[in-house]
Amino acid sequence: MTPPAGDKISISQGKLTVPDRPVIPFIRGDGTGRDIWASSERVLDAAVEKAYGGQKKIAWFEVFAGQAAKDKFDTWLPDETVEAFREYLVGIKGPLTTPVGGGIRSLNVALRQMLDLFVCLRPVQYFEGVPSPVKHPEKVNMIIFRENTEDIYAGIDYAPGSDDANKILAFFEKEFPKEFEKIRFGTREKAAEFWKQVGAPEPTDVMVGVGLKPVSRSGSVRLIHSAIAYAIKNQRKSVTLVHKGNIMKFTEGAFRDWGYEIAKSYFGAEEIDGGPWCQIPMGKPGGGIIIKDAIADITLQQVLTRPEDFDVIATLNLNGDYLSDALAAQVGGIGIAPGGNINYITGHAVFEATHGTAPKYADKDMVNPGSVILSGEMMFRYMGWNEAADLIIKGLNGAIASKRVTYDFARLMEGATKIKCSEFGQNVIDHM
């Protein structure tokens, strides 16, 4: 993997310095990723050319992960790929195959953890004309800050019946006997009693999977601080802390409490009507922004029934996974949902397609490239290339309004013409 001629993006005191010809590592992706990247790269290059008239240009640096890396280097995630993202700070990737069997559980999660990309940033907005299952998708305009490194996605879980799981159960039984009783089938006796009741000749082995859900103050502070800082910078109206603290009081509940603490101590927020909701006073940066909280299950209802009540959302990993995909469905589906994984402290960021590889459509030039195109738009805004980002939004709006779209939209849009993935990319360029 040899980098092209170009310069490195750097960071100093939290501020990125982006040269006119930055080297940007990219992973083409597996399955449909090949078609999507070919179309998206043309759109991104065209936006930069039109915005800056040749003064700026991306030096694309192809690196490998997933099936392509396995075939080429006999490893799913080469060290050189991780090192490229680490060295050049900002990159982009298509969808990747998740390896079956042992080793890395998810290449996406592995990259996030190796580079400590603690924010999963998922903007959710509606483009006029996109088919939607809800009556007023235009009311959905949210930015989700999903914590990326902790919660159950830390990957600390053990298989039922394994030596490790049984060691943890034995430790728990010895040190926390009262809590151990809450594990419904944590002993052979309890398992045997159940199988006897139902009359099934099942073995009475202890088969309990065990997982750990770490939620730290440090991890919560950096996520929530980033969300509030984003809301201030982008003149948003509120930040909602989404949690399940009514049940998980010392993990999800702590996340909520730390959120209010951060709002007050770092941003000068003051309680409204005795709290816990609070607001940054007028006269301070972000004056008027409300910091509030909502239980996760109620939030999933209210983003459907009252989407205008939500703006910036800060939440833990699992809640964020549910929320971002549910909201993507409201505005047209995961096929056009972008994502970014960011460490605002080190400057590292990897922008990505949020959908899967869809292997049955691979190399057929038919899928929607919108997710990677919009991830590129996010990347340009992160780099400060807002003019290029604005052109992408303009082009995408125009392409969708023309009703010349890929099959996923065409089958649901009245009077639409179905075009190829590559043709849709050109349609976006034509409407910039």
Active-site residue (options: 244, 257, 292, 365): 244
Task: Look up residue 108 and give its two tokens.
Answer: 């996406």
Task: Tell me the whole-structure pTM to 2 decimals.
Answer: 0.92
Which among 114, 121, 133, 111 is positioned nearest to 26, based on CA atoms?
A: 111
User: In the block, which residue shows the tokens 């909602």?
Assistant: 240
Which among 39, 213, 38, 30 is positioned nearest to 107, based on CA atoms?
A: 30
**357 neighbors 27 (Cβ within 8 angstroms):** no
- Asked which of 97-106, 134-143, 285-294, 377-386 is least confident by mean pLDDT, the reply is 97-106
**9 neighbors 347 (Cβ within 8 angstroms):** yes
Whether 102 has a pLDDT exceeding 80, the answer reads: no
What's the N-to-C CA distance of the chain in angstroms? 33
Q: Active-site residue 56, yes or no?
A: no
With cut-offs at 50, 70 and 90, classify the pLDDT of residue 97.
confident
Active-site residue (options: 30, 257, 293, 321): 321
Give residue 233's pLDDT. 93
Q: Active-site residue 321, yes or no?
A: yes
Give residue 356's pLDDT. 86
The domain limits of the chain are: 1-127+335-431, 132-143+212-331, 157-211
Give residue 6's pLDDT. 96
For residue 191, which amino acid is it?
A: A
Report the CATH fold assignment for 132-143+212-331.
Isopropylmalate Dehydrogenase (3.40.718)
State the DSSP code for 7: B
Cis omega (within 30 of 0) on the bond before 19? no
Are 1-127+335-431 and 132-143+212-331 equal in CATH topology? yes
- φ/ψ region of 65 (left if φ > 0, alpha if ψ in -120 to 50, else beta) reads beta
CATH second-level architecture of 1-127+335-431? 3-Layer(aba) Sandwich (3.40)
Supply the mean pLDDT for the chain.
Answer: 94
Active-site residue (options: 153, 260, 344, 382): 153
* pLDDT tens, position by position, 19-66: 999 999 999 999 999 999 999 999 999 999 999 999 999 999 999 999
Task: Look up residue 337 and give its two tokens.
Answer: 């949902």
Whether 278 has a pLDDT exceeding 70, the answer reads: yes
Q: Active-site residue 293, yes or no?
A: no
Active-site residue (options: 7, 45, 116, 297): 297
Output the DSSP codes for 153-189: GG--EE-TT-HHHHHHHHHHHHH-HHHHTTSTT-SHH
Give residue 98's pLDDT. 75
Q: Active-site residue 52, yes or no?
A: no
Whether 103 has a pLDDT exceeding 70, the answer reads: no
Exposed/middle/buried for residue 40 (C-beta within 10 Å: 0-12, 13-18, 19+): buried
